Amino acid sequence: ASASLFKVAETGEGGLEAVQELLEAGADPGHADREGVTCLMHAASRGDLEVMQALLQAGAPWHDLDCEGNSAGEYASGMGHTGAVQLLLEWAVQAELILGALERSRKRRSAGGEQEGVGGAGERVEEGIEAASRDKPIDFETASNADYLASKVEYSQDTLVDAEGEAVMMEWERPLMERHAAMLCAAGGDVMNVGFGMGIVDGCIASHAPRSHTIVEAHPGVLARMRAEGWYDRPGVRVVEGRWQDVLRQLDSYDGIFFDTYGEDGEDLREFHRHLPALLKPKGIYSFFNGLCPDNMFFNVVQGEIIKRELHTMDIETSYEPIKMNPLPESIWKGIKHRYWHLPAYMLPRCVKQ
């Protein structure tokens, strides 16, 4: 039945009725061929919303990838089926919002020392969803912030690397940092950047001469660099030493805020966002380095949409400006442990407090 379902999804022959019959007969909605192409990818590339809906409802994962790293989202957008892209996006966002909430509640309960296996029906539902999403792809960097902050960093002309040889910051990001800085400084005013790195965005912010310029940085090696480069003595610049989590009380409110740390994950970003209503002045603009899911464009868009909805609940409205990215030359990754950018576009976030 699974092979027949695959054929129907590919050709559309028999339509929704055939799909439903085959699913009832036990066909696997997530069936894939040897190249990793799934029923959902075929339905998406034909823009067949009804069949896509039936497959998703039957449990077809929205995030499966073919051998080349494409998801159903890429199949739909590659064929210009905007309705199919929207359907997948909405499905993915809802699924990830629910999974994220469940994951947080599970962590809270295990941190509170609650015993496992006594949670009743709610817990069983949660386990079922977790089992269904075992290889959930949407995840952020997992390196520990504490380990990073306790280890050495090394600067060269074009990179800042950590003790593992992972890139913390690279010069190729400069044009993006220029765009972020111009957006944040548009209204002049008071601007804060969290995470100095190579000082690229701070150099750009300084070139716009804002009323005040606050920099939050936690790494001793980076702080030493800032001291050597004279950042502590620049007029209008205030350096706040420490992890942003630990120095919140020393901060004011700002017209522009940029966030770009390292060794932190999606939960840290969410945590920072919880403080934005207090940190942003009315009409203040916030932006962050959008390296969310840097291996897959559709996942990046899904994650961006989740953040947009979360910020909306705080009266902060987000839009993304797509910036086309030319492929980066292989040579720039020489000596770097992992390549951290693969996407054809950078979705520049602009989040405005209402």
Ligand X SMILES: C[S@@+](CC[C@H](N)C(=O)[O-])C[C@H]1O[C@@H](n2cnc3c(N)ncnc32)[C@H](O)[C@@H]1O
User: Residue numbers of the site for ligand X (CB under 6 A)?
Assistant: 145, 168-169, 177, 194-201, 216-219, 222, 243-244, 260-264
Exposed/middle/buried for residue 248 (C-beta within 10 Å: 0-12, 13-18, 19+): middle
Core vs surface per residue 125-134: b (16+ CB within 10 A) or e: ebeeeeeebe
Smallest distance from the beta carbon of 162 to ligand X, in angstroms?
9
Q: How many residues does the chain have?
A: 354
Closest CB to ligand X among residues 172, 281: 172
Q: DSSP string covering 66-117, please?
A: -TTS--HHHHHHHTT-HHHHHHHHHHHHHHHHHHHHHHHHHHHHHHTTPPTT
Closest residue to ligand X: CB criterion: 197
> Cβ of residue 174: shortest distance to ligand X, in angstroms?
8
Q: How many CB atoms lie within 10 A of CB 297?
A: 21
Query: Least CB distance from residue 100 to ligand X, whole Å?
Result: 21
Of 70 and 214, nearer to ligand X (C-beta) is 214
Shorter beta-carbon distance to ligand X: residue 74 or 217: 217
DSSP 233-288: GSTTEEEEES-HHHHGGG---EEEEEE--SS--HHHHHHHHHHHHHHEEEEEEEEE
Q: Between residues 49 and 336, which has the closer beta carbon with respect to ligand X?
A: 336
The least distance separating ligand X from the CB of residue 293, rounded to whole angstroms, comes to 17
In this complex, which beta carbon is closest to ligand X, that of residue 35 or of residue 271?
271
CB of 74 to ligand X, least distance (A): 27
Name 302's Cβ contacts closer than 8 Å, sequence gap at least 6. 73, 89, 92, 93, 96, 138, 293
Phi, psi dihedrals of residue 206, rounded to the nearest 5°: -60, -35
Q: Please, what is the minimum distance in Å from the beta carbon of residue 328 to ligand X?
A: 16
Output the smallest distance, CB 216 to ligand X, in A.
5
345 bridge partner residues: 324
Task: Choose between 32 and 293: whose C-beta lies nearer to ligand X.
Answer: 293
Burial class of 175 by CB neighbour count within 10 A (0 to 12, 13 to 18, 19+) = exposed
203, 225 Cβ separation under 8 angstroms: no
CA distances from 277 to 186, 299, 316, 353 (A): 20, 27, 8, 8
Q: Which of residues 110 and 245 has its CB atom nearest to ligand X in the complex?
A: 245
Q: For residue 317, give the amino acid letter.
A: E
Residue 190, helix vs strand vs coil: strand
Question: Nearest distance from residue 261's CB to ligand X, in Å?
Answer: 4
Q: State the nearest-atom distance from the C-beta of 221 to ligand X, in Å.
A: 8
Kindly tell me which of 25 and 182 has the beta carbon lying closer to ligand X: 182
Q: CB–CB of 311/280 below 8 Å?
A: no
Residue 218 or 347 with smaller CB distance to ligand X:
218
Give the Cα separation of 49 and 51 in Å (integer). Answer: 6
